[in-house]
Amino acid sequence: MSFKPWQSPRWPEGVAPEISGFEAPLYSILEGSAQRYPDKTYTVFQGAQRTFSKVNETADRVADFLAQRIQKGDRVAIFLPNIPHYPEIFFGILKAGGVCVTCNPLYKADELNFQLKDSGAKAVFVMDHPQFYPTAVEAAKDTDVDTVVVCNIKPYLPSMMAFLGGLLGKIPKAEKYEKGHFFYDQVVASHDPKPPRLHIEPVRDPAVLIYTGGTTGLPKGAVLTHSNLMSNVIALDEWIRLEHKPGEALKKMIRGGFHSYLGVLPWYHSFGLTVCMLSSCYTGSRLVCIPDPRAGKPPFTDVLKSIEKYKITTFVGVPTIFSAIVNHPLTEKFDLSSIIGCGSGAAPLPVEVIKQFEAKTGAVIFEGYGMTEASPVITLNPTNREQRKIGSVGLPLPSTEVKILDIETPTKELSMGEDGEIAISGPQVMAGYWNRPQVNQEVFVELDGKRFLLSGDIGHLDEDGFLVITDRKKDLILVGGFNVYPREIEEVLYTHQKVAMAAVIGVPDPHTGEAVKAFIQLKEGVQATEEEFIQFCKEKMAGYKRPKYIEFRETLPTSVVGKVLRRVLRDEELRKSKA
């Protein structure tokens, strides 16, 4: 299949099929906005605002500090939640020629230690906090880390809030500090806004190292170059067309302060990093920092408050966040009408949740598909109700090519409509996994003279070129010789009015090889029985697909970006069967 079926009549009007201009240092995103919109607000935190020029100047000071401690290509870890220091440090590392290693701030010491060791990080930035700082100190032992910078939030709060917080002891800080560690505010104050002069090769030079389970489940660092990330930001900007006012024609994102992004996805993850932190910077938009999306009583209440207070227009989330808002008992008390466009990814978004969220907000949700290894966005639905296809994850972004390959023979391309392994080629695809040459050989294949990344996901291209995800290879359930796809059953369960979240796995069965088991998290305040759901499923699906077992859970295990972790549930079932 040499033609590109997605460039059909369904391709959004005005969107270029190819992009250019991405062979530039990633920090040029910040420098460009600081030049064009110097006095416009970039970060917002607890009401305090920092302009693009201020963030850029601080990044230059961070670069000046680091230039005395690292060489070009050295790795520097960021062990922070979504606080306003993050963009300054991120871009500062890049300006110093370093490679950002983004770390989950909820990691335990052993998990962080593995990442620091594997990456060979020379420095780490950590939040001044009674949990995060001691974890970083312990994790840095027996690693190459020789520079630790402690970041306190007090200088980034409104003056009165900072005064009262300090007076009442409400500003988080560590109990004690190790000798020789640096404090961020002192680093910034004592260095000049003069980054070193370096030659960056955007296509070759790494910018970010993000750890992911990838297609094997083992932690590996995906090496993303400056051009990888730049291309994804530019492609998203080319793709997204919104109705900025009711009845108004679709147009590209308005620049220079019109939009407000809700920074609810973690920026140490590729989804939040690219689609929120970098994209907001590229468009000169405000970025509201949300360190803990579950904050408030009940959980997620502070997210609702922020949407109303800051008139959020752009909301990038994952299914668990959209579901939490839809099912939140206080949703009706907040004005969410400022939201214009919402991107969803990381996991399939149930159709019922889309309908309910759009009914409550008036916004449009466009679902996409991505991988950390692809910076991360690969496909995205048209950003309007008329052209999108609910149930699909959209069309390949400009300059992106998707092929469906035979699972057993990855050099064999399948026909449209046939399910196979999804393979991706484009400027956003990573250079490879850090120090994993053998794994790199396994996940890349050359087709038509191009390098394609094997995703480990199963899907097909429909008659209009839209990508439909069927499942991950390892999530397939074989019931009596029939293929059962967990997502299909989960979609049915989500239509039940009592279901908040659902996950489906295969469990051993002496008669059929495997049987289907469903784990259900009920909406708050409701009750249900196993028999009720078994009868519901009988009315909705064929016999071999129906869950044989139903288990109710107060919560379901999720990843850092809200993806339900079926593998955790499978591991639990395996331990039970062995016991």
Beta strands in 29-181 (DSSP E): 41-45, 48-51, 75-79, 99-102, 123-127, 147-151
Structure tokens at 496: 């039940």
Using a cut of 0.75, tell me whether the model's pTM lies above it: yes
Residue 446: left if φ>0, alpha if ψ -120 to 50, beta else—which one?
beta
Q: Find the range with the poorest average confidence among 32-46, 160-174, 349-363.
A: 160-174
Residue type, 267: W
Q: CATH number of the domain at 476-578, please?
A: 3.30.300.30
pLDDT at 7: 83
**Looking at residue 1, what is its pLDDT?**
46
Domain ranges of the chain: 50-201, 209-470, 476-578
480 pLDDT exceeds 80?
no
Res 473: pLDDT: 67
Same fold, 209-470 and 476-578: no
Model confidence at 216: pLDDT above 60: no
Backbone angles phi, psi at 298, to 5 degrees: -70, 170
The pLDDT of residue 122 is above 70: yes
Q: Which pair of tokens denotes residue 462?
A: 């429909």
- For 144, 349, 398, 481, 539, the CA distances from 550, given in Å and listed in that order, are 49, 21, 43, 22, 16
Architecture of domain 209-470: 3-Layer(aba) Sandwich (3.40)
Please state the rounded mean pLDDT for residues 115-138. 97
* Residue 378 pLDDT level (bands cut at 50, 70, 90): very high
**Predicted pLDDT of residue 168:** 66
Give the confidence band of 499 by pLDDT, cuts at 50, 70, 90. Answer: very high
Q: Mean pLDDT throughout 410-417?
A: 92
Examine the pLDDT at 42 and tell me if it is beyond 60: yes
Q: Given this model, what pLDDT does residue 21 score?
A: 96
Residues in the chain: 579
Q: 34-43, 415-424, 451-460, 471-480: lowest mean pLDDT where?
A: 471-480
Third-level CATH fold of 50-201:
Rossmann fold (3.40.50)
pLDDT (mean) for 56-71: 98
Query: How far is it, in rounded angstroms, from Cα 74 to Cα 198?
Result: 14
Condensed to tens digits (0 to 9), the pLDDT of residues 247-272 reads: 888 999 999 999 999 999 999 999 99
> What is the structure's pLDDT at 213?
64
Q: Which residue has the tokens 């051009």?
A: 227
Residues of the chain with pLDDT > 90: what percent?
Answer: 76
pLDDT of 2 reads 57
